[in-house]
Amino acid sequence: MAASTTLNGCATVEGSSQYRERFKDIAADDYFREAQKLWLSSVGIGTYLGQPDEETDRRYTDAIVRAVELGANVVDTAANYRFQRSERSVGAALAQLKQRGFPREGVVVCTKGGYLPFDGGPPRDVRGYIEENFVRPGIAGWSDIAGGSHCMTPRYLEGQLQQSLHNMNVECVDVYYVHNPESQLSAVPANEFWRRLRAAFEFLEQTVTEGKIKYYGVATWNGFREEPDHPGYHSLETMVELARDIAGDAHHLRFIQLPVNLGMPEALFFQNQKRGDEYVTVVEAAQAFGVNVIASGSLLQGQAARGLPEAIRDSLGSLATDAQTGIQFVRSAPGVTTALVGMSSVEHVEENLALLKVAPASQEDLINVFDQEE
């Protein structure tokens, strides 16, 4: 794409406020949440699953456009999703949205770097691809790559960020996540892991000053859900201490992402995170540290979107579909800003975003859900 078509800027308080204002007459209370001076929808669109083909590209682009039109302004992707094709679908959607009167400043665009992404599809010779694209140019050494697939050195993240900006045809990403940093812990001891993560945070803080990202964070699958003595455990307190040591209280480590759904509710009750002298849940720790929680896997790749017990459906408001019920549980959880839902079809977007008009469930309703699961 030509440089002149690049979408300038990040999401802004004015842009996200204007986006929220579009839905003032139909959105339920607390559908939009304020986070880091931005307004985020409590339902966001994810782009993880799907075949690496042009039909899926088109479906994602159409779904993202429709989601933003219907009230979801959080768009989540990653460099490695569908071999970079998901990021490119996001870029195509953003361009269409601008033409339809939805400017870049109203959409919160999030992506991730960490896993080595292929381009368009899997290469025949994986090792040769890594050698040619990462090792030989000096972007990453073999010792930097954990498990043959994960890297988070500053030079690697710099290349990945530039690639993501190009893929989405934007000059700035609102939230840039280090993707599943726990992948490193299978290859290096804890002290080396923290050294590598500190170097990554130093790079990301510098990138904020350059205007290429607005905030950063970590997107995990297991790290925040493990026992404190597990080798793959992540301490949010230690991460925040790193960021503060680098940039003081004005640091930009302001988002974390982890799975939250009816089958994986650990973030809401498992007290595995240190906050001073006590252990609390990860959402409680995040609130104390000024970090926002974004829930991934809200429907557990469809497993929490079908066959829900009637008692759970009743507790969450007897909504029209199981998918709506599963999303309602996640976005109603205290401390969760946005529930991400993978949506690659306009039909699913329209079904799920009917929740725009539905108030989140009460804390009493959520307690009833836990009682039913027991």
Task: Characterize the bridge pairing of strands 253-259 and 292-296.
Answer: parallel
Q: How confident is the model at residue 242 (pLDDT cuts 50, 70, 90)?
A: very high
Q: Whole-angstrom Cα distance, residue 65 to residue 55? A: 16
Q: What is the mean pLDDT of residues 339-345?
A: 97
- Angstrom CA distances, 107 to 12, 327, 370, stand at 9, 20, 34
Domains, the chain, with CATH or none = 15-373 (3.20.20.100)
Q: In sequence order, which residues have a C-beta less than 8 Å from that of residue 263 and are 6 or more positions away?
A: 300, 303, 304
List beta partners, residue 216: 176, 253
Measuring CA to CA, which residue among 95, 54, 57, 97 is closest to residue 77?
Answer: 57
SS3 label, residue 82: coil
pLDDT in tens, 68-125: 999 999 999 999 999 999 999 999 999 999 999 999 999 999 999 999 999 988 899 9
Is residue 369 pLDDT above 90, yes or no?
no
Task: Give pTM, 2 decimals.
Answer: 0.95
pLDDT in tens, 139-166: 999 999 999 999 999 999 999 999 999 9
Q: Write down the mean pLDDT value for the chain.
A: 94
Measuring CA to CA, which residue among 177, 215, 162, 146 is closest to residue 296?
Answer: 177
Q: What is the pLDDT of residue 1?
A: 38
DSSP secondary structure string for all residues of 273-304: EEETTEEE-HHHHHHHHT-EEEEE-TTTTTTT
Measuring CA to CA, which residue among 276, 262, 281, 274 is closest to residue 330?
Answer: 262
How far is CA 26 from its chain centroid?
Answer: 26
Asked if residues 266 and 336 have their Cβ atoms less than 8 Å apart, the reply is no
Q: Whole-angstrom Cα distance, residue 174 to residue 157? A: 16
pLDDT in tens, 249-293: 999 999 999 999 999 999 999 999 999 999 999 999 999 999 999
DSSP secondary structure string for all residues of 346-358: HHHHHHHGGGGGS
